[in-house]
Amino acid sequence: MPELPEVETVRRGLVPALEGRRLTSARAYRPDLRLPLPERFAERLEGREVQRLRRRSKYILADLDGDETWIIHLGMSGRLLLTPSADAPAERGPHDHVVVETEAARVVYNDARRFGLMDLCRTDALETHRLLARIGPEPLSNGFSAAYLADRLRGRATPIKAALLDQTIVAGLGNIYVAEALWRARLRPTRLAGALSRGSIERLAPAIRQVLEDAIEAGGSSLKDYRQADGELGYFQHSFRVYDREGAPCPREGCRGRVRRIVQSGRSSFYCAACQR
């Protein structure tokens, strides 16, 4: 799916179209995505003004007037596509599941695999929402540091790859950015989280922060499904050092290694066997 940088890019793309605008219409074309939509979902969106578009981890949060927040997760293949009303087609495309309109624009939620989800929650109760309550600190916030990470990894017998995918430890990482952060920190994805030295963690925490900042700067990574809200492609995929580069030479200065692909708990991991230890 879209990981943190892609979700942030989508959010930024939607801000001008949605913040301070009223939803003149809302339609849901099926009762469920990964989870059932809440009661009277479309009716509760219609007529509301979007006061603020925020992001928490991989969730987009739209605060509405009337004290409810619209929670959106894009899953693996979800997209939020923005079209000016004048250009909006009359026909609904395949896998267009939710459509909202403002005076000036249409936003379509399209999701072939339906691993995404939407919900509505009282804004003052968001922190206790079951999907959000257990999520760890934002990696770009002050709450995330080497000291924090060391504390959370202590005693964990799981590979660092799996620990970084665990959203309760740190928010927003997925398969791509874990691979890229571990390459930057010169750590093998198979290393056991609890056995990492303090020095390793001191490299890892800033590597996570930096790869996410770089990716946001580039507008995220466009692979198969992901697009920015305006349909533009992000270009961080051209900056991948190891992700999806099996067999390629390691791009690190002076390293003669090649990128390897292994499978960890059912998912591909990519790393350089020479410089990542």
Is residue 267 annotated as a catalytic residue, yes or no?
Answer: yes
The answer to whether residue 3 forms part of the interface with DNA (CB under 7 A) is yes
**69 Cβ contact partners less than 8 Å away, ≥ 6 residues apart:** 61, 62, 63, 120, 121, 122, 123, 126
Is residue 154 annotated as a catalytic residue, yes or no?
Answer: no
The answer to whether residue 12 forms part of the interface with DNA (CB under 7 A) is no
Is 144 within 8 Å of 137 (Cβ atoms)? yes
The answer to whether residue 93 forms part of the interface with DNA (CB under 7 A) is no
The answer to whether residue 175 forms part of the interface with DNA (CB under 7 A) is yes
Is 46 within 8 Å of 17 (Cβ atoms)? no
Among 13, 139, 174, 219, which residue sits at the site for DNA (rule: CB under 7 A)? 174
Which of 22, 113, 186, 267 is labelled catalytic?
267
Mark 213-231 as b/e (b = at least 16 C-beta within 10 Å): eebbebbbbbeebbbbbee
Task: Report which DSSP code applies to 24.
Answer: -
Is 160 within 8 Å of 191 (Cβ atoms)? yes
Is residue 261 annotated as a catalytic residue, yes or no?
Answer: no
Smallest distance, DNA to C-beta of residue 128, A:
14
The answer to whether residue 68 forms part of the interface with DNA (CB under 7 A) is no
Which of 55, 56, 58, 184 is labelled catalytic?
58
- Catalytic positions are 2-3, 58, 267
Enumerate binding residues for DNA (CB under 7 A). Answer: 1-3, 6, 34, 57-58, 73, 75-77, 94-95, 112-115, 131, 156-159, 162, 165, 167, 173-176, 193, 220-226, 244, 264-268
